[in-house]
Structure 1
Amino acid sequence: MDVIYANSELICSTNASINKCSRYKGQKTLKKEVTVHKWIKVSLIVLSVCLVFAFGGVCTLAILLSHATPLAFFNSDFSVPVSDQDQNATDYKAQFDALRHQHEETLRKLNRLNYSTGCALCAVHWIHSGGKCYYFSKFKMNWTQSRDHCVCLGGHLVIINSKAEQDFVNSNVKVTHWIGLNDLETEGHWVWVNKQPVNDSVEFWIKRENGIREPDNWTKGHPDGEDCAGLGHPGGETDFWSDAFCSLEKRFVCEAPAAV
């Protein structure tokens, strides 16, 4: 019985050692697994941070490139952007010419239509007179802006070719208005917006009693002088022409062919 009891204790002791070793090995394996997972997690965090910084660098570079001046492109070896700009400019000009031709063709069709009906057609807010349509603005712009706005409306700044036309335009204004006359290209050589020079027999420059007449190209405060013409001046009558600084803001008169 004693032997059996001793053997039993030995067996129990042996089993306890095995269990203890098993628990130790299990704890060691778990510790290794936790350590590996921890390092994987840290590596992923570091990788994520690196990706964020890399993305930020790419975005910064894109912003800098988008705000780069044309000079930077000219000084570099990039020729494609310049070529693209030239191509775009050519395309825009072609589109503008096509629209202008379409507008002229539409006016010709309206002319033929209204010739048969005896009616004169002008756009809303335009006034018909002598085969033309006239637009008298209610707001002010400088001369260049006025010229461009008339083009956008389908016409041009008014070109006055007769005393009757001068009287008609004058009868519809009470303050100074821009007309389509300028000497921007050559001082003293006054031309209309269609590049035609003023007819000496049809000109209405103001003539003062002291012998001084318009255009006088006054340069006080404006070295470039007075290069654009308007009806009258801010403090006077409107039945004559006077030159003025093109940067001044005035009302303006547009004209376009009437559909008659």
Structure 2
Amino acid sequence: MDLICEDSSYIHFTRTASSDKSSHYKCLKPFDQERKKEVLLPKWTKVLLIVLSVSVVCALVGICALGMRLSHAKHCSISVSDQYHNDTDYKGKFEELRVQYEETLGKLNRLNQSTGSALCAVHWIHSGGKCYYFSTVKMNWMQTRDYCVTLGGHLVIITSKAVQDFLVSEVKETHWIGLNDLETEGHWVWVNNQPLNDSMEFWMKRENGESEPDNWTKDHPAGEDCACLGHINGETDFWTDAFCFEEKRFVCEAPASV
């Protein structure tokens, strides 16, 4: 028996058996159309899959970034820790040096008390409770004044015959001393701003009566405003005034440690 299907797409039919042994027929869709119906997905499902894919990618990127930050933070924490330990080491070494310095200073003080003698720094000579430094280089007067200060002293101040004689015995050529009249011509003062005592001076005396200081201006109009021990000719047992820009050796003075 032929079965006519109302929809032309229903082109297959089948025969089924019933209990009364009569035959029944029904229209069927083609197999390919049934399979397409099963495979096709709704649009919202595709959108959901895209969103999920993007979310997964973002999550992976976030995990990578977090890992990099954690690695950087760990490196920084190690660097900070190393710096902290280095600072601690430096502080410890500084403290050790400070303790050694105090111990050494204490030993020197005890040595001074036990021997009753005063001590001077290396390259300084002790005399009459003071220390004297005789330079081996030459500078102008202003430079020597500042240099003696950096050594912890000042240009030598001569206020007694004993000091004058000691200096003369130690030098073989002219040396700067701490006497000048830079501010007021003829008014000589020491580097400690104390004026020269006229009863305790050792200026060079000439037979013709032209004694030092003479403020010689022939070679330079500013004149001679700084005092030195000795003369360029080699004598050292008197004072002369000289141009402050000349370079000479010098004598520094500092109190002796007791």
**Mapping for residues 78-97 of structure 1, pairs under 5 Å:** none
Change (3 A) 1:125 1:211: same
Scaled by the length of structure 1, the TM-score of the pair is 0.56
For residue 221 of structure 1, report the CA deviation from its aligned partner.
Answer: 2.4
Structure-1 residue corresponding to 2:219: 221
Structure-2 residue corresponding to 1:156: 154
Percent of aligned positions that are identical: 81
For residues 229 and 109 of structure 2, what CA distance do their matches in structure 1 show? 30
Structure-2 residue corresponding to 1:235: 233
Runs of 4+ in 1 over 2 A off after TM superposition: 110-117
For residues 130 and 111 of structure 1, what CA distance do their matches in structure 2 show? 19
For residues 124 and 239 of structure 1, what CA distance do their matches in structure 2 show? 26
Structure-2 residue corresponding to 1:118: 116
What's the secondary structure of 2:179's corresponding residue? strand
What amino acid is the match of 1:251? Answer: R
Say if 2:148 and 2:155, in contact at 8 Å, map to a contact too.
Answer: yes
Structure-1 residue corresponding to 2:246: 248
Scaled by the length of structure 2, the TM-score of the pair is 0.57
The one-character-per-residue Cα deviations of 1:143-196 (angstroms, maximum 9, x if unpaired) are 000000000000000000100100001110000000000000110000000000
For residues 136 and 178 of structure 2, what CA distance do their matches in structure 1 show? 17
Count the aligned residue pairs. Answer: 153
Say if 2:185 and 2:225, in contact at 8 Å, map to a contact too.
Answer: yes
Which structure has more RCO (C-alpha within 8 Å, separation ≥ 6)? 1
Which one has the largest radius of gyration? 2
**Mapping for residues 45-84 of structure 1, pairs under 5 Å:** none
Change (3 A) 1:112 1:205: farther
Structure-2 residue corresponding to 1:79: none
Structure-2 residue corresponding to 1:143: 141
Change (3 A) 1:191 1:174: same
1:208 to 206, 210, 215: 206
For residues 193 and 239 of structure 1, what CA distance do their matches in structure 2 show? 21
Whether 1:181 aligns to 2:179 is yes
Q: Which runs of 5+ in 1 are unaligned?
A: 1-106
What's the secondary structure of 1:175's corresponding residue? coil
Cα root mean square deviation, aligned: 1.9
Higher helix proportion:
1
For residue 236 of structure 1, report the CA deviation from its aligned partner.
Answer: 3.4
Higher strand proportion:
2
Change (3 A) 1:232 1:111: farther
